[in-house]
Chain A
Amino acid sequence: MSGALNAGRRLLLKAGGALTLAFALPRLALAADAAAPTLPGSLKKQPLLDGWIRIGADGSITVLTGKVELGQGIKTAIIQLAAEELVVDPARIHLITADTARTADEGFTAGSHSMQDSGTAVRNAAAQVRVILLDLAATRLHAPVTSLGIRDGVVTGPGGAKVGYGELVRGQELHRTATETSVLRPPHHHFLMGRAFQRVDIPAKVTGGAAYVQDLRLPGMVHARVVRPPSSDALFASTDQNGAAAMPGVLTIVRDGRFIGVVAQREYQAVKAAAVLAAATRWTAGATPAAAELHRAVEQMPSEATTILERGTAGQPGRTFSARYRKPFQLHGSIGPSCAVAQLEGGKYTVWTHSQGVFPLRQALAELVGVDKESIHCIHVEGSGCYGHNGADDVAADAILLARALPGQPVRVQWMREDEHGFEPKGPPMASSVQATLDASGQIVDWAYAVWSPPHNSRPGTAGNLLAGTLLAAPFPVPPAVPIPQPEGGGDRNAIPLYVLPNARVVHHFIPVAPVRSSALRSLGAYHNVFAIESFMDELALQARADPVAFRLRHMQDARARDVMTLAARQFGWDAYRPQVGRGRGFAFARYKNLGAYAAVALEVEVARDTGWVRITRAVVAVDSGEIVSLDGIRNQIEGGVVQSCSWTLCEEGLFDAAGQLTTRDWAGYPILRFPQVPDTVHVHVIDRPGQPFLGTGEATQGPTCAALANAIFNATGARLRDLPFKPAKVIAATQLARRT
Chain B
Amino acid sequence: MSQISLTINGRAHSVDTDPDTPLLYVLRDDLHLNGAKFGCGLGQCGACTVIVGGNAVLSCLIPVSTIGTRPVTTIEGLGTAARPGVVQQAFIDEQAAQCGYCIAGMIMRAEALLQHDPAPADDVIRSQMALNLCRCGTHMRILRAVRRASDKLKGRA
Residues of A in contact with B (beta carbons under 8 Å apart): 70-73, 198-199, 201-212, 214-215, 217, 223, 248, 266-269, 271, 333-337, 382-385, 387, 414, 416-417, 632, 636-637, 639-644, 647, 666-668, 672-676, 678-679, 681-682
Known: A205-B100, A208-B104, A266-B29. Contact between A416 and B41, CB under 8 A?
yes
Listed by A's residue number, 12 A-B pairs whose Cβ atoms lie within 8 Å are: A71-B97, A71-B98, A198-B92, A205-B100, A211-B100, A269-B18, A335-B134, A416-B41, A417-B41, A644-B136, A667-B133, A675-B142
**A526: min CB distance to chain B, Å:** 17
Task: Tell me which of B25, B107, B133 contacts A335 (CB under 8 A).
Answer: B133
Across the interface, name the chain A residue whose C-beta is closest to B100: A205
Q: Which of B20-39 contact A (CB under 8 A)?
A: 21-22, 25, 28-29, 32-35, 37-39
Residues of B in contact with A (beta carbons under 8 Å apart): 1, 17-18, 21-22, 25, 28-29, 32-35, 37-42, 44-45, 47, 74-76, 78-81, 84, 88, 91-92, 95, 97-104, 107, 123, 125-127, 129-143
Task: Tell me which of B92, B101, B123 contacts A385 (CB under 8 A).
Answer: B101
Across the interface, name the chain B residue whose C-beta is closest to A669: B44
Q: Which residues of A contact B47 (CB under 8 A)?
A: 335-336
Contacting pair B127 A643 (CB below 8 A):
no
Q: Give the complex CA separation of A647 and B134 in angstroms.
A: 11
**A244: min CB distance to chain B, Å:** 15
Known: A636-B141, A672-B133. Contact between A385 and B99, CB under 8 A?
yes
Q: Which residues of B contact A643 (CB under 8 A)?
A: 137-140
Q: Give the complex CA separation of A73 and B99 in angstroms.
A: 8
Contacting pair B34 A206 (CB below 8 A):
no
Q: Give the complex CA separation of A639 and B132 in angstroms.
A: 18
Task: Tell me which of A335, A632, A667, A674 contacts B101 (CB under 8 A).
Answer: A335
Q: Which residues of B contact A384 (CB under 8 A)?
A: 99, 101, 135
Task: Tell me which of B25, B40, B97, B135 contacts A206 (CB under 8 A).
Answer: B97
Task: Tell me which of B33, B95, B101 contacts A336 (CB under 8 A).
Answer: B101
Q: Give the complex CA separation of A674 and B129 in angstroms.
A: 8
Q: Which residues of B contact A269 (CB under 8 A)?
A: 18
Known: A206-B75, A417-B41, A666-B40. Contact between A676 and B107, CB under 8 A?
no
Across the interface, name the chain A residue whose C-beta is closest to B26: A268
Starting from the known contacts A212-B101, A675-B139, 15 additional A-B residue pairs (CB-CB under 8 Å) come to: A198-B95, A204-B81, A207-B79, A207-B80, A207-B81, A207-B84, A271-B41, A334-B101, A336-B38, A414-B38, A417-B39, A640-B98, A667-B42, A676-B126, A676-B130
Q: Give the complex CA separation of A639 and B142 in angstroms.
A: 12
Known: A211-B34, A644-B135. Contact between A676 and B127, CB under 8 A?
yes
Across the interface, name the chain B residue whose C-beta is closest to A643: B137
Q: Which residues of A contact B33 (CB under 8 A)?
A: 208
Q: Give the complex CA separation of A204 and B92 in angstroms.
A: 10
Across the interface, name the chain A residue whose C-beta is closest to B37: A336
**SS class, residues of chain B in contact with chain A:** loop
Best-buried of B38, B76, B130 by chain A (most CB within 10 Å):
B38
**B73: min CB distance to chain A, Å:** 11
Known: A71-B136, A668-B44, A675-B126. Contact between A208 and B99, CB under 8 A?
no
Contacting pair B141 A639 (CB below 8 A):
yes
Best-buried of B78, B99, B107 by chain A (most CB within 10 Å):
B99
Q: Which residues of A contact B126 (CB under 8 A)?
A: 675-676, 678
**B42: min CB distance to chain A, Å:** 6
Across the A-B interface, give the 8 residue pairs with the lowest CB-CB distance, nearest first.
Answer: A71-B99, A643-B137, A208-B35, A385-B99, A205-B100, A640-B137, A384-B101, A667-B44
Q: Give the complex CA separation of A198 and B102 in angstroms.
A: 19
Q: Give the complex CA separation of A644 and B135 in angstroms.
A: 7
Contacting pair B92 A206 (CB below 8 A):
yes
Q: Give the complex CA separation of A678 and B36 in angstroms.
A: 24
**A137: min CB distance to chain B, Å:** 36
Q: Which residues of B contact A334 (CB under 8 A)?
A: 101, 135
**A330: min CB distance to chain B, Å:** 12
Contacting pair A641 B137 (CB below 8 A):
yes
**A266: min CB distance to chain B, Å:** 6
Q: Which residues of B contact A676 (CB under 8 A)?
A: 123, 126-127, 130
Across the interface, name the chain B residue whose C-beta is closest to A202: B97
Contacting pair A207 B76 (CB below 8 A):
yes
Known: A335-B45, A678-B139. Contact between A209 and B101, CB under 8 A?
no
Q: Give the complex CA separation of A200 and B101 in angstroms.
A: 15
Contacting pair A199 B136 (CB below 8 A):
no
Contacting pair A73 B139 (CB below 8 A):
no
**B43: min CB distance to chain A, Å:** 10
Contacting pair B135 A675 (CB below 8 A):
no
Q: Give the complex CA separation of A674 and B56 in angstroms.
A: 18
**A733: min CB distance to chain B, Å:** 26
Q: Give the complex CA separation of A337 and B38 in angstroms.
A: 8
Contacting pair A682 B140 (CB below 8 A):
yes
Contacting pair A206 B140 (CB below 8 A):
no
Q: Which residues of B contact A212 (CB under 8 A)?
A: 34, 37, 101
Q: Give the complex CA separation of A267 and B21 in angstroms.
A: 10
Known: A266-B29, A667-B45. Contact between A206 and B104, CB under 8 A?
yes
Known: A203-B81, A674-B130. Contact between A335 and B18, CB under 8 A?
no
Q: Which residues of A contact B38 (CB under 8 A)?
A: 214, 336-337, 414
Q: Give the complex CA separation of A216 and B68 in angstroms.
A: 29
Q: Which residues of B contact A208 (CB under 8 A)?
A: 33-35, 74-76, 104
Q: Which residues of B contact A214 (CB under 8 A)?
A: 37-38
Contacting pair A201 B100 (CB below 8 A):
yes
Q: Which residues of A contact B142 (CB under 8 A)?
A: 675
Q: Give the complex CA separation of A417 and B38 in angstroms.
A: 9
Contacting pair A209 B34 (CB below 8 A):
yes
Q: Give the complex CA separation of A644 and B139 in angstroms.
A: 10
**A480: min CB distance to chain B, Å:** 31
Across the interface, name the chain B residue whose C-beta is closest to A384: B101
Contacting pair B137 A647 (CB below 8 A):
yes
**A644: min CB distance to chain B, Å:** 4
**A539: min CB distance to chain B, Å:** 28
Q: Which residues of A contact B99 (CB under 8 A)?
A: 70-71, 335, 382-385
**B16: min CB distance to chain A, Å:** 10
Q: Which residues of B contact A672 (CB under 8 A)?
A: 133, 135
Best-buried of A199, A337, A384 by chain B (most CB within 10 Å):
A384
**A282: min CB distance to chain B, Å:** 24
Q: Which residues of A contact B143 (CB under 8 A)?
A: 675, 678
**B56: min CB distance to chain A, Å:** 14
Q: Which residues of A contact B88 (CB under 8 A)?
A: 206-207
Best-buried of A70, A267, A637 by chain B (most CB within 10 Å):
A267
Contacting pair A248 B1 (CB below 8 A):
yes
Across the interface, name the chain A residue whose C-beta is closest to B131: A674
Q: Give the complex CA separation of A345 and B140 in angstroms.
A: 46
Across the interface, name the chain A residue whose C-beta is closest to B142: A675
Known: A198-B95, A203-B92, A636-B95. Contact between A267 and B25, CB under 8 A?
yes
Q: Which residues of B contact A207 (CB under 8 A)?
A: 35, 75-76, 78-81, 84, 88
Contacting pair A72 B139 (CB below 8 A):
no
